[in-house]
Amino acid sequence: MALPVKRNSRLKAEFHHHVYVVLLSNKAAQHPSILRANPKRDPRKPCIYVGMSGLLPEHRFENHRHGYKSAWVVKKYGLRLIPELYEHLNPMPFEAATEMERDLAEDLRNEGYTVTGGH
């Protein structure tokens, strides 16, 4: 009977990574590096940060806000999470999250969002 418990525990451990999207202040879009990365941006759509973490998105966002392993743009301009853009994707294994972070950033950029992060 111990075997199914171990299998469930291992499965949960393998699927604990998350992608997340942070709404940034429009001031972030004034940075030349962000503008260069988004030549086809739609100024009517918000500036966002796409990230990936082994933590829950809410916890990771708080770490950004408090300067712990923080992306400068989220610490300075981060307003809130946008769960409607990512929660249907989570959780997933590390490798899938790494790929999904890039894919999500690219998809949102193609939709006209001004995107930073998503490496």
pLDDT band per the 50, 70, 90 thresholds, residue 5: very low
Length of the chain: 119
In a domain, 2, yes or no: no
Distance of alpha carbon 15 from alpha carbon 27, whole angstroms: 35
- Higher pLDDT pick, 12 / 108: 108
In a domain, 11, yes or no: no
Q: What pLDDT does 15 receive?
A: 86
In a domain, 10, yes or no: no
**How many domains is the chain partitioned into structurally?**
1
Q: Which residues, at least 6 apart from 58, have a Cβ–Cβ distance to it below 8 Å?
A: 81
In a domain, 6, yes or no: no
In a domain, 58, yes or no: yes
In a domain, 49, yes or no: yes
CB atoms within 10 A of CB 43: 10
Query: 102: domain range?
Result: 16-117
For residue 119, which of 53, 66, 54 has the smallest C-alpha distance?
53
In a domain, 8, yes or no: no
Q: Residues 63-81: pLDDT tens digits?
A: 999 999 999 999 999 999 9
Sequence letter at residue 20: Y
Q: Residues 12-38: pLDDT tens digits?
A: 557 889 999 999 999 999 999 999 999
Burial of 69 (C-beta count, 10 Å sphere; 0-12/13-18/19+): exposed
In a domain, 7, yes or no: no
